[in-house]
């Protein structure tokens, strides 16, 4: 059987999912940027990808695997709105372009909590420039009125608190709104790959290997943080709290309910169509290479 191609990003928050995958027989790891993962899976350039959850709505359809996710059950820390005005007065959001899901979540929360439909402008927060030829109002240091920042940049390139007295942790706001956890990304495959016996077996094998490595990594989080935090330029103690306490990696029943609720609200506010998420309910084939 040809190696299973796995597309992923290698950030601090993905470490419990991707550490060790490059050493597994039968897998070929394809490091890339978040926005490219779902297109690679759809185009058949990768068999499985750690894709933004909002990308599960699209054509060809993607299916969510029970192999692991990146999510939270309360504050996330690294998915945050920074605003110089009260959230109820926001008119334009300069959005980090790397996560489709975080932009959609911000739209849902601003609509549900504040009745807002602000303009979203793609923005490079490190260079402090609007993208795609857009222009926005910025202060003398280049900071816009409202900024959606995600990932390591919230820690390594955090904007000055004095500039942004109003902040909203999107994971915490979602929990307050729905009482549910939130899923930002999950392992996904093309849904039509599950239609043939051989395709289903191949995806089931990939899912089992990914899940096994995730479970193994959960047993060595201290070591994982020591290895990854310096490379990501995170303080070790903050990285330990982030990975060990704030983030969730197990895709269970409540997480499935959260994904369905998120898709429903995205449809309500015209962010996506009203398609329900598709979960790949597959069993683990036997044997799984590398298992004891």
- Which structural domains are found in the chain, ordered by start? 4-72+181-268 (3.40.190.10), 79-178 (3.40.190.10)
Check whether 291 has a pLDDT greater than 50.
no
Euclidean distance between CA atoms 10 and 17, whole angstroms: 9
**Residue positions counted in the chain:** 292
pLDDT (tens digit, 9 = 90+) per residue, 14-35? 999 999 999 999 999 999 988 8
The torsion angle over the Cα atoms of residues 44, 50, 51 and 56, rounded to 10 degrees, is 80
Q: CA distances (Å), 238 to each of 15, 102, 136, 155, 222, in order?
A: 15, 22, 33, 9, 12
CB 207 within 8 A of CB 66: yes
Q: In this structure, is the dihedral angle defined by the CA atoms of residues 103, 105, 107 and 110, taken in order, positive or negative? A: negative
3-state secondary structure of 206: helix
Q: Which of 189, 248, 238, 241 is CA-nearest to residue 218? A: 248
Q: Which two tokens stand for residue 79?
A: 């998915």
pLDDT at 292: 34
pLDDT (tens digit, 9 = 90+) per residue, 244-266? 999 999 999 999 999 999 999 99
Euclidean distance between CA atoms 243 and 245, whole angstroms: 6
pLDDT (tens digit, 9 = 90+) per residue, 102-147? 999 999 999 999 999 999 999 988 888 988 888 898 888 899 999 9
Q: Which two tokens stand for residue 206?
A: 């990939």
Give the mean model confidence (pLDDT) for residues 153-174.
Answer: 93
Check whether 82 has a pLDDT greater than 70.
yes
Helix (H) or strand (E) holding 227: helix 221-232
Q: Around Cβ 111, how many Cβ atoms within 10 Å? A: 17
| pTM reported for the whole predicted model | 0.92
pLDDT at 178: 98
Question: 60: cis peptide before it, omega within 30°?
Answer: yes
Percent of the chain at pLDDT exceeding 70: 96
């Amino acid at each position: 059987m040809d190696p299973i191609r796995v597309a992923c990003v290698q950030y601090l928050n993905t470490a419990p999912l991707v550490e060790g995958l490059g050493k597994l027989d039968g897998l070929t790891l394809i490091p890339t940027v978040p926005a490219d993962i779902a297109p690679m899976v759809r185009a058949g350039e990768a068999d499985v990808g750690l894709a933004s959850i909002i990308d599960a709505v699209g054509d060809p359809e993607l299916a969510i695997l029970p192999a692991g996710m990146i999510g939270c059950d309360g504050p996330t820390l690294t998915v945050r709105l920074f605003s110089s005005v009260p959230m109820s007065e926001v008119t334009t959001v300069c959005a980090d372009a790397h996560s489709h899901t975080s932009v959609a979540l911000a739209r849902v929360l601003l609509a549900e909590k504040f009745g807002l439909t602000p303009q979203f402008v793609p923005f490079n927060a490190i260079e402090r420039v609007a993208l795609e030829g857009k222009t926005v109002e910025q202060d003398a240091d280049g900071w816009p009125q409202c900024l959606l920042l995600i990932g390591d940049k919230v820690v390594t390139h955090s904007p000055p608190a004095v500039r942004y007295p109003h902040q909203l942790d999107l994971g915490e706001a979602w929990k307050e709104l729905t009482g549910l956890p939130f899923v930002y990304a999950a392992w996904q495959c093309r849904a039509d790959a599950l239609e043939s016996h051989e395709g289903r077996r191949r995806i089931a094998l990939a899912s089992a290997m990914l899940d096994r490595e995730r479970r193994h990594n959960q047993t060595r989080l201290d070591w994982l943080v020591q290895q990854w935090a310096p490379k990501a330029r995170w303080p070790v103690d903050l990285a330990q709290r982030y990975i060990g306490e704030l983030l969730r990696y197990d895709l269970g029943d409540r997480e499935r309910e959260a994904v369905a609720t998120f898709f429903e609200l995205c449809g309500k506010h015209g962010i996506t169509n009203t398609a329900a998420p598709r979960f790949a309910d597959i069993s683990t084939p036997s044997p799984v290479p590398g298992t004891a």
